[in-house]
Amino acid sequence: MTAITSSTPTTPDARAVKSADRTLHILETLGDAARPLTVVELHRLTGYPRSSLHQLLHTLAASRWIDMSEDGARVAIGAQALVVGTSYLDRDQAIPYASPVLESIRDEIGYTTHYARLEGDSVLYLATREPSNSHRRTSRIGRKLPAYCTALGKALLSQLTAEERAGVIGEGELPALTPSTVTLPETLDEQLSEVRRRGFSTEYEESTPGVVCVAAPVQYRIPATDAISCSMPAPVASDGEVARVGAIISAHASRLAAELQAHGVR
């Protein structure tokens, strides 16, 4: 099993409805795209018959799930996807408790902080707090990154048995996102052992060049599904600074886990 299959439809089972499966795949493909796609590009990515693809696209455009150019040649994810996605955040019981914790950590360490959840083989970003001097142009909320090459993901993968990890990320060599990405399972296993020993994970430019991340699991579930991280510029990520940030995040993550359990959040 490979770790990144965003443009590959999942294998349908006997109960799958073809049109629904195709609709979901179209939305996922457009959601992963960094720009509007031409219908020709979408046809090539999905392999769906042109007539069926056009019918599905016009249906999705009519309900605002996608935006379509006036000439019908280009399509992009639409506003309704944001409306439905926001409802996921609105109903999540952990985020109201996590958000002020992210703010406290940000204020204490001076770096961007994130709260994310393990979803399949990726981590899904649920909340982010930026420092006042941040120059980030796009939010990570609602975005996914492979678990094996993020500090958040490593914090959560460290909670799993070897068999459970293999079920999540597979057993073969992993795709590299950057020249620094750890791709060998045995090297990743060594890193995860270190995470369990010291209580927090690290990631040095494995998912984003120039950025180092530190993370700790929020253990209100067993195994933990959520984690807190901070990202810092690589030039400031000395061993001492990483250890300082790791200790702070671990302490806040432990207190957040206790608070969630005390309030019955599961």
**190 and 250 co-located in one domain:** yes
| Identity of the residue numbered 58 | H
Residue 236, in any domain of the structure: yes
Answer whether the bond into residue 9 is a cis peptide, omega within 30°. no
| Number of domains the chain contains | 2
Residue 1 near residue 169, CB atoms below 8 Å? yes
**207 and 226 co-located in one domain:** yes
Return the HEC string of 200-266.
CEEEECCCCCCEEEEEEEECCCCCCCEEEEEEEEHHHCCHHHHHHHHHHHHHHHHHHHHHHHHCCCC
**Domain of 137?**
92-262
- Name, in order, each residue with C-beta under 8 angstroms of 69's C-beta and a sequence gap of 6 or more: 36, 75
Torsion of CA 54, 11, 163, 206, to 10 degrees: -30
**141 and 235 co-located in one domain:** yes
Question: Nearest-5° angle of CA 194, CA 196, CA 201?
Answer: 65
Residue 207: Cβ within 10 Å count:
21
CATH of the domain at 73: 1.10.10.10
Residue 254, in any domain of the structure: yes
- The residue with tokens 């990520």 is 237
Residue 183, in any domain of the structure: yes
Residue 11, in any domain of the structure: no
Q: Please tell me the predicted confidence (pLDDT) of residue 128.
A: 96
Positive or negative: CA dihedral 156, 13, 63, 33: positive
**78 and 206 co-located in one domain:** no
Residue 239, in any domain of the structure: yes
Per-residue pLDDT of the chain (266 residues; tens, 9 = 90+): 333 333 444 444 545 688 999 999 999 999 989 899 999 999 999 999 999 999 999 999 999 999 999 999 999 999 999 999 899 999 999 999 999 999 999 999 999 999 999 999 999 999 999 998 776 655 688 899 999 999 999 999 999 999 999 999 999 999 999 999 999 999 999 999 999 999 999 999 999 999 999 999 999 999 999 999 999 999 999 999 999 999 999 999 999 999 999 999 99
Domain boundary among 49, 83, 117: 83
- The residue with tokens 């359990």 is 261
Residue 45 near residue 7, CB atoms below 8 Å? yes
Q: Please tell me the predicted confidence (pLDDT) of residue 138.
A: 59
